Amino acid sequence: MARKRIVVVGTSFAGYTGALELRELLGDAHDITVVANTHDFVFIPSLIWYPFGLRSKQDISFDVRPVYAEHQINFVEAGVTGFDLDQRLVKSTSGDLPYDYLLIATGPKVDFASVPGLGPRQNSWSICNVEHAEETRHAWEQFLQNPGPIVIGASQGAACFGAAYEFIFNVRYQLKKHHLLDKAPLTFVTAEPFLGHFGIGGFGNAKAMSEMFFNMQHISWRTSAVVQEVRPDSVALASGEVLPSAFTMIIPRFLGIDAIRNTPGLGNANGFIETDDGYRHTQRPEIYAAGVAVFVPPAGETEVPCGVPKTGYPSEVMAKTAAANIAADINGGERKTMPFSMIHAYCIMDTGNMGMLILGDHMVGARHLEFIIPGPQAHWAKLAFEKYFMYTRKHGHI
């Protein structure tokens, strides 16, 4: 059998997992290349702690290149600028990369432009990547010297709601430590129709539990909120309400990266790739996708658009499924399917020194099993999982 060339685009949860899984399944009989604009793997869930000085980049990231070298995976550090689907080429700043099979695991483009004034170097802060979180750390240090009202949340079309919840509870915990609760009233704004929707249609008694947490912590909230504009000292909602804010962090919607959106026939209007339940492109059988790059329809209709969270564990499941099917395409054998809705829901939500363990048998739709376990054990579980995850992935175990 002729050697096949598999190119993986991206090296976060989906890309890193997919590349290592492909090598495990294919042995050394075929060529695997990863192309990404960074050689760092970052454990994104820990960015909620970064602005408070509780983590450094070294704590939550590692260099993927030694792992790839050990597994005989070629790594190209370059920006992907486009795709030639007919010639089967990934176009990058380091030249064209030919492929027989392609796994797109790029993650998102963070669409700050969707709301006027939103984002770093404008009027709000971000925890979407390390660079943003570093800027947010400096802003937080300045805020502590001159505190005032705070607005945290997730805008219309956002999908990463859990991080917004964790961040506002960690902000509240830090305010208490600095004895600033009376000087910094907290407001949470979200596109969700109710607290605890999380972009997955709700989860057990999450609504009641979230409302209880918010009330206990004296945090006000606005659901079905449309953020119209973020100003230097306030957040304007489409309802006409203007919320004063001396420190604002609002997670925006995600889009597919420019290289996908600029390639006709690859992604949909927002740059997400439509796949079957094996994560193969619906029109191009040699192309697969995993992680945030995959189009997942919303979990039911909502008054304000809400995306579905795809980061972390769901990304890894999609990547392993895609890798298994690429291997089946090459070597023969049974293909696998794993509809997104059937992926298990696993989440540890941290609130500073407490939290919630969220466990369910399905991400979206009716569930037979769903548990929410609040308490300090959730905080310690998240700390333990961070250490376990970083150790295993740094050593190439998935």
Q: Does residue 384 fall inside a structural domain? A: no
Dist. CA 370–CA 368, nearest whole Å: 7
Can you tell me whether residue 173 is helix, strand or coil?
helix
Q: Supply the CATH number for residue 143's domain.
A: 3.50.50.60
| Residues 163 and 74 both lie in one domain | no
| Residues 24 and 35 both lie in one domain | yes
The pLDDT tens digits for 337-385 are 999 999 999 899 999 999 988 888 889 888 888 888 889 999 999 999 9
- Give the pLDDT confidence score for residue 369 in this predicted structure: 85
Q: Does residue 157 fall inside a structural domain? A: yes
Catalytic residue flag (residue 347):
yes
| C-alpha count within 13 angstroms, C-beta hemisphere, residue 112 | 16
Q: Are 227 and 119 in contact (CB under 8 A)?
A: no
The pLDDT tens digits for 129-185 are 999 999 999 999 999 999 999 999 999 999 999 999 999 999 999 999 999 999 999
Catalytic residue flag (residue 306):
no
Phi, psi of 347 (to 5 degrees): -150, 140
Q: Residue 37 sits in which domain range? A: 5-109+255-341
Among 159, 160, 171, 184, the active-site one is 160
What average pLDDT does the segment 81-92 reach?
98
Q: Does residue 22 fall inside a structural domain? A: yes
Among 347, 348, 356, 372, the active-site one is 347
> What residue type is assigned to position 160 of the chain?
C
Q: Determine what percent of the chain is predicted with pLDDT higher than 90.
A: 91
Q: Give this prediction's pTM.
A: 0.96
